[in-house]
């Protein structure tokens, strides 16, 4: 508390309420707005003390108090809202028409295709994508050349400092920016768009497209490095995939073949903050993409994506991908939307339970308003997570 009895809403507030509580998501929304904070090897670091009572770092952080309902109503058509998964205009199953893209992508190549199309058709001038080095250390790259998008394909299971790159690029002459974001990153962008401080209003008008990624959890880079070193030694890693829950393993692709690591060992590498995430399907995006799930099984599903369209902009981009035949579409299994809703509801319920355990009170959910309509539906049992076979 300050001398007036108010909690600090600047760097001190971030340090006390987010970093020291293990809630930092690594989104880097706070990086690039002042010289006091930086992302270093998958950690948000405070380089200098800042005594501002109120700062953009606190305002935009996805783990500081957030009016989710205002974000929903401002950014989306209220008539499209589905409590479990956010704004919903349709669910699709897609994959890249180009076999080369499919072969080089994680699942289906849909995100790669949509970013290429958005650049080629002028939806955006520059795209901010996740990248990583040969040690899987995350980075963020800005891309203006359509031909260079493919080189960034594939899932990164460690959080990229994507928003630090957005903060930097949005202060340049670039007019139309697209971002591929995780749920926490998309929430931070939503807070920037809906409640920008005065000096950020112009730069936030440059955000023209958010493609979201489904996310159950992310891995801590240091813990992952230790695990991979124990299991693989100095093998060169070509890629990683985490299979559906019934397979219970992570596959690591090396120059010597595939190494399978039991999922219970991988879970030990999950970032602590992921236990407090309220969003599985990246609800604050224009269009959200995840790996497919169907009765055909993983051998088929791993080559497809499931896509939620949330805004008219997202619908227009997906329709153009169909028109130009850069994406293939197939029928969505009847149960898929309900399965998504159940899985998302389960994540929300777990998040609330963990937040209550942290604070010791159902009336203190740290960054979530206990009176939020979706929270109230979960607490009253109007949203459940009963398993669908």
* Mean per-residue pLDDT, 322-328: 98
> How many Cβ atoms sit within 10 Å of the Cβ of residue 228?
21
pLDDT-derived band at 212, boundaries 50, 70, 90:
very high
* Mean per-residue pLDDT, 117-136: 94
pLDDT-derived band at 321, boundaries 50, 70, 90:
very high
pTM: 0.94
Q: How far apart are CA 326 and CA 308, in angstroms?
A: 18
Q: What is the pLDDT of residue 384?
A: 65
Q: What is the pLDDT of residue 234?
A: 82
Q: What is the pLDDT of residue 156?
A: 83
Q: What is the pLDDT of residue 6?
A: 52
Q: How far apart are CA 387 and CA 249, in angstroms?
A: 21
Residue that wins the pLDDT comparison between 5 and 241: 241
Inform me whether the pLDDT recorded for 58 exceeds 70: yes
pLDDT in tens, 64-101: 999 999 999 999 999 999 999 999 999 999 999 999 99
pLDDT in tens, 108-120: 999 999 999 999 9
Q: What is the mean pLDDT of the chain?
A: 92
Domains and CATH numbers, the chain: 77-218+279-342 (3.40.640), 221-269 (3.10.450)
Q: How far apart are CA 324 and CA 167, in angstroms?
A: 32
pLDDT in tens, 91-104: 999 999 999 999 88
* Mean per-residue pLDDT, 110-131: 97
* Mean per-residue pLDDT, 17-33: 94
Cβ(93)–Cβ(331) below 8 Å: yes
Cβ(183)–Cβ(344) below 8 Å: no
Cβ(122)–Cβ(316) below 8 Å: no
Q: What is the pLDDT of residue 5?
A: 45
Beta strand 237-242 pairing with 249-254: antiparallel
pLDDT in tens, 277-311: 999 999 999 999 999 988 888 888 989 999 999 99
Closest CA to 42 of 216, 270, 209: 270
Q: How far apart are CA 57 and CA 64, in angstroms?
A: 10
């Amino acid at each position: 508390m300050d001398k007036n009895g108010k909690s600090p809403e600047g760097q001190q507030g971030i340090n006390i309420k987010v970093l020291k509580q293990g809630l930092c998501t690594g989104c880097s929304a706070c990086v690039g707005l002042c010289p006091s904070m930086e992302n270093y090897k998958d950690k948000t670091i405070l380089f200098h003390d800042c005594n501002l009572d109120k700062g953009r770092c606190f305002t935009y952080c996805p783990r500081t108090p957030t009016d989710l309902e205002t974000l929903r109503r401002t950014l989306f058509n209220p008539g499209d809202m589905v409590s479990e998964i956010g704004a919903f205009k349709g669910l699709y199953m897609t994959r890249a028409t180009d076999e080369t893209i499919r072969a080089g992508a994680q699942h289906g190549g849909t995100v790669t295709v949509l970013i290429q199309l958005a650049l080629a058709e002028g939806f955006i001038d520059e795209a901010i994508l996740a990248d990583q080095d040969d040690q899987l250390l995350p980075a963020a790259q800005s891309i203006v050349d359509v031909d260079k998008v493919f080189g960034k394909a594939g899932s990164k299971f460690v959080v990229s400092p994507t928003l630090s790159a957005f903060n930097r690029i949005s202060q340049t002459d670039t007019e139309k920016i697209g971002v591929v974001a995780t749920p926490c990153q998309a929430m931070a962008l939503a807070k920037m768009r809906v409640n920008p401080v005065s000096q950020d209003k112009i730069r936030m008008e440059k955000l023209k497209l958010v493609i979201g990624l489904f996310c159950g959890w992310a891995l801590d880079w240091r813990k992952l490095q230790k695990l991979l070193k124990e299991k693989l030694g100095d093998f060169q890693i070509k890629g990683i995939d985490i299979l559906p829950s019934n397979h219970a393993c992570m596959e690591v692709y090396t120059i010597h073949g595939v190494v399978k690591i039991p999922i219970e060992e991988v879970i030990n590498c999950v970032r602590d903050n992921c236990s407090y995430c309220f969003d599985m399907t990246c609800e604050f995006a224009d269009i959200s993409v995840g790996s497919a799930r169907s009765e055909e099984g993983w051998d088929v599903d791993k080559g497809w994506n499931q896509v939620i369209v949330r805004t008219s902009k997202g619908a227009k981009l997906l329709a153009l991908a169909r028109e130009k035949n850069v994406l293939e579409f197939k029928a969505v299994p009847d149960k898929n939307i309900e399965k998504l809703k159940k899985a998302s509801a389960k994540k929300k319920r777990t998040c609330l339970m963990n937040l209550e355990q942290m604070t010791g009170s159902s009336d203190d959910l740290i960054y979530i308003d206990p009176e939020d309509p979706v929270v109230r539906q979960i607490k009253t049992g109007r949203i459940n997570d009963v398993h669908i076979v």
